[in-house]
């Protein structure tokens, strides 16, 4: 009997470029998993069409239909629990999750943030890089905890900021040069059972990381 594939749920709010990278990596076997549902809080999110083209089930839940963040998260938990996900991936999901949601999928929620965490948590990271004169910029895949963008970091990629880079140029570079490589890689590790959250630290292939690994850790198929 072949080993079961990991069941993956992806949460989106926008165009879904990271979602597409995950769809492609599942389709060609680089990720030993299956995306069982894509959930969006915005009916107009472009990523919905990407999921539909791939034959993936879609759930749309507008946060505006709920009286509180907790009520919205409880509704998401109910929808996702019915799909029995092993991994929950935030791919441009523009909502801060409550402790209720995080507890429901403890140790199984991944996020990608467009900065070299712990530097520049929150929004407008590309503008912050320019405002602070940072020499380097990039992205970080991390486990999601109750601390905003504060969960244990798994993998980071970075590049040098060029003198002529604008915020828009940095956003494009972070996506194409970093995010589309490191996010599928992290999900692939987790789908194979090689990645786990242990307390406040990361275990990768049986070793506790002292800090996030870099681009050199990418396997051939993700470079």
Q: What residues act catalytically? A: 113
What is the SS3 assignment for 128? helix
The DSSP line for 92-108 is S--SPPPHHHHHHTTT-
In whole angstroms, give the CA distance from residue 174 to residue 169: 9
Q: Which residues, 6+ apart, have CB-to-CB distance to 14 below 8 Å?
A: 42, 45, 46, 47, 92, 94
Q: Which residues, 6+ apart, have CB-to-CB distance to 25 below 8 Å?
A: 31, 184, 187, 188, 221, 222
């Amino acid at each position: 009997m072949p080993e079961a594939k990991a069941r993956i749920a992806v949460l989106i709010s926008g165009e879904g470029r990271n979602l597409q990278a995950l769809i492609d990596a599942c389709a060609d076997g680089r990720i030993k998993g299956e995306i069982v549902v894509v959930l969006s809080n915005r009916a107009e999110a472009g990523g919905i069409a990407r999921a539909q083209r791939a034959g993936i089930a879609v759930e749309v839940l507008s946060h505006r239909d709920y009286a509180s963040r907790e009520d919205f998260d409880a509704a998401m938990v109910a929808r996702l629990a019915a799909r029995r996900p092993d991994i929950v991936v935030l791919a441009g999901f523009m909502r801060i999750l409550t402790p209720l949601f995080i507890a429901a999928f403890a140790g199984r929620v991944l996020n990608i943030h467009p900065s070299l965490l712990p530097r520049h948590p929150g929004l407008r990271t590309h503008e912050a890089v320019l405002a602070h004169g940072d020499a380097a910029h990039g992205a970080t895949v991390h486990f999601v905890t109750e601390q905003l963008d504060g969960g244990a970091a798994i993998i980071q990629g970075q590049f040098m900021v060029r003198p002529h880079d604008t915020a828009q140029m940095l956003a494009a570079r972070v996506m194409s040069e970093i995010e589309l490589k490191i996010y599928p890689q992290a999900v692939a590790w987790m789908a194979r059972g090689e990645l786990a959250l242990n307390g406040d630290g990361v275990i990768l292939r049986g070793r506790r990381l002292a800090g996030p690994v870099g681009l050199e850790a990418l396997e051939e198929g993700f470079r």
